[in-house]
Amino acid sequence: MEPFNIRNITIDPPLVLSPMAGVTDYTFRRLIKRRGGVGLVVSEFISVEGLTRHNPKSKRQMRFDEDERPYAVQIFGGKPDRMAMGAEMAEEVGADILDVNCGCPAPKVVKNGGGSGLLREPKLLESILKEIKKAITIPLTLKLRTGYTEASINVVDVAKMAEQCGVEHIQVHGRTREQGYKGLANWEIIRQVKEAVSIPVSGNGDITSIEYGMRKWRESGVDGILIGRGAMQNPWIFRQFADVLAGREPYQPDVAEKKAVLLEFFGLCREEMPEIVSLGKMKQLAGQFTKGLVGGAQFRQTLYHSHSAQEILDNIDIYFETLSQRATFGDGEVESDADIEMTSCDAPVLPTIEPPGRLSAGV
Ligand SMILES: Cc1cc2nc3c(=O)[nH]c(=O)nc-3n(C[C@H](O)[C@H](O)[C@H](O)COP(=O)(O)O)c2cc1C
């Protein structure tokens, strides 16, 4: 498990923060990058329809910090000319890599021919990739699901076609579009993709522990690993992987550091966004971050019911004070994770006040 190259860009360590719409924005990416161990970060997926019509939100989504490099912009859409224009815009703002989304299952994306809809139309995808290659000089990469349905798994053929078009890194989330986020990612198919092409292949799906990640990595033989939801639960997961790869004991943050990370994230959000949006963002992260913490469910409820920044800060103080005294918060149970799944590439940014029992746009 060595660093790998996407043309002349070294991905070291070979660990990628998987793109997540509504999550991996400028703020979250920097939070993760500062924890260490991330070889590549990717923007949220960005609509080329928005970009090429100069929608300010789409343009803002491309923004990044020099410290984030190497940095990939991910675009989605179904029209070759628009995709090429969007790709060119990403190169112009200084992205190191252009990534095409071929995995999002959200109906509104698929309906317009983008995301995982492209798996049903390999010819259209081929045209898109060829047009993009003509428009940019930075490396082009692709993020795929395994197929549209269980009956039409075609990722190996699509990956071979993409290699012929000049794609320089294939990333496979081991589920079909039909599967959404159900069941487990199929790493056997990821292994087949790795064997079928000679460009680097990275695998993705369900990596939330070092042990599982290392096992899937070894079994599939991939060059790199993408981690999405696991990074919200544990922002140190990349550093812990990097430690293990370097033969060290994985880093373990203490309670004080966990508190500091929540406060850091909230601070970054408040610098960037209106208060109401930063409250929503905080609730979103806390929903995942508190998984498995003692009294985490109760803590989450106090955050969901916080209506101001001060209330959030007070509740964080109270919770971590209780933990540091080894006292019981709420019923003191470590709750089950079932109610806090996060399952969409279409997740809204949450300016909500009331608790979203689960973060899902229902795709
Ligand atoms: C909230 C959310 C938003 C996502 N948005 C995107 C996206 O914009 N682009 C993309 O390629 N994948 C997106 N994904 C899929 C993830 O990148 C990743 O492939 C998937 O979550 C499986 O990896 P994980 O088990 O490590 O989370 C999203 C996933 C989630 C949960």
Split at pLDDT 50, 70, 90, the class of 327 is low
CB 65 within 8 A of CB 94: no
Of the residues 245, 277, 293, which one is the last residue of a structural domain?
A: 245
Whether 128 and 217 share a structural domain: yes
* Span 299-309, average pLDDT: 92
Judged on CB neighbours under 10 Å (0-12, 13-18, 19+), 162 is: buried
Whether 103 and 166 share a structural domain: yes
CA distance 294 to 277: 27
Whether 113 and 240 share a structural domain: yes
Asked whether residue 362 is assigned to any structural domain, the reply reads no
104 catalytic, yes or no?
yes
Whether 205 and 142 share a structural domain: yes
6 token code pair: 């996407």
**52 CA to centre of ligand 1 in angstroms:** 24
Asked whether residue 348 is assigned to any structural domain, the reply reads no
Whether 44 and 143 share a structural domain: yes
Whether 80 and 54 share a structural domain: yes
CA distance 220 to 223: 9
pLDDT at 76 over 60: yes
Whether 295 and 219 share a structural domain: no
Which amino acid is present at 107?
Answer: P
Give the residue, out of 173, 184, 209, with the most ligand 1 atoms within 8 A of its beta carbon, to mutate for a pocket test: 173
Asked whether residue 122 is assigned to any structural domain, the reply reads yes
CB 34 within 8 A of CB 41: no
355 versus 136: which is more confidently predicted?
A: 136
pLDDT at 241 over 90: yes
pLDDT digit string, tens, across residues 154-197: 999 999 999 999 999 999 999 999 999 999 999 999 999 999 99
**Which entry of 104, 165, 269, 345 is annotated as an active-site residue?**
104
CA distance 68 to 119: 30
Residue 287: what pLDDT? 83
Whether 201 and 327 share a structural domain: no
CA distance 53 to 34: 33
Q: Which atom of ligand 1 is nearest to the CA of 175?
A: 22
Q: Which atom of ligand 1 is nearest to the CA of 206?
A: 25
Q: Which atom of ligand 1 is nearest to the CA of 346?
A: 3
Paired residues of 149 in beta bridges: none
CA distance 5 to 172: 17
**329 CA to centre of ligand 1 in angstroms:** 32
Whether 298 and 210 share a structural domain: no
Of the residues 219, 245, 271, which one is the last residue of a structural domain?
A: 245
Nearest CA to ligand 1 atom 19: 173
Residue 294: what pLDDT? 85
Judged on CB neighbours under 10 Å (0-12, 13-18, 19+), 67 is: exposed
**19 CA to centre of ligand 1 in angstroms:** 6
Q: Residues lining ligand 1, judged by CB closer than 6 Å?
A: 18-23, 44-45, 74, 101, 103-104, 143, 173, 204-207, 227-230, 342-345, 347
Peptide bond just before 70 cis, omega within 30 deg: yes
Residue 264: what pLDDT? 97
* Total domains, the chain: 2
Give the residue, out of 20, 41, 186, with the most ligand 1 atoms within 8 A of its beta carbon, to mutate for a pocket test: 20
Residue 12: phi and psi, rounded to 5, are -140, 115
CB 80 within 8 A of CB 127: yes
Split at pLDDT 50, 70, 90, the class of 144 is very high
Asked whether residue 123 is assigned to any structural domain, the reply reads yes
Nearest CA to ligand 1 atom 21: 228
pLDDT at 94 over 70: yes
Q: How far apart are the first and last CA of the chain?
A: 34
Whether 158 and 180 share a structural domain: yes
**317 CA to centre of ligand 1 in angstroms:** 31
**330 CA to centre of ligand 1 in angstroms:** 32
pLDDT above 90 covers a percentage of the chain that reads 82
pLDDT at 354 over 70: no
Which amino acid is present at 101?
Answer: N
CB 150 within 8 A of CB 127: no
pLDDT at 343 over 80: no
User: For residue 176, what is the enclosing H or E element?
Assistant: strand 170-176
**62 CA to centre of ligand 1 in angstroms:** 17
Of the residues 220, 245, 270, which one is the last residue of a structural domain?
A: 245
pLDDT above 70 covers a percentage of the chain that reads 90
Whether 143 and 231 share a structural domain: yes
> What SS3 class is residue 75?
strand
Q: Which atom of ligand 1 is nearest to the CA of 101?
A: 11
Asked whether residue 292 is assigned to any structural domain, the reply reads yes
Asked whether residue 357 is assigned to any structural domain, the reply reads no
Q: Which atom of ligand 1 is nearest to the CA of 230?
A: 26
Asked whether residue 355 is assigned to any structural domain, the reply reads no
Whether 271 and 227 share a structural domain: no
Give the CATH number for residue 103: 3.20.20.70
Asked whether residue 345 is assigned to any structural domain, the reply reads no
Q: Is 0.85 topped by the overall pTM?
A: yes
- Give the other-Cβ count within 10 Å of 60's Cβ: 12
- Structural domain span for residue 106: 4-245
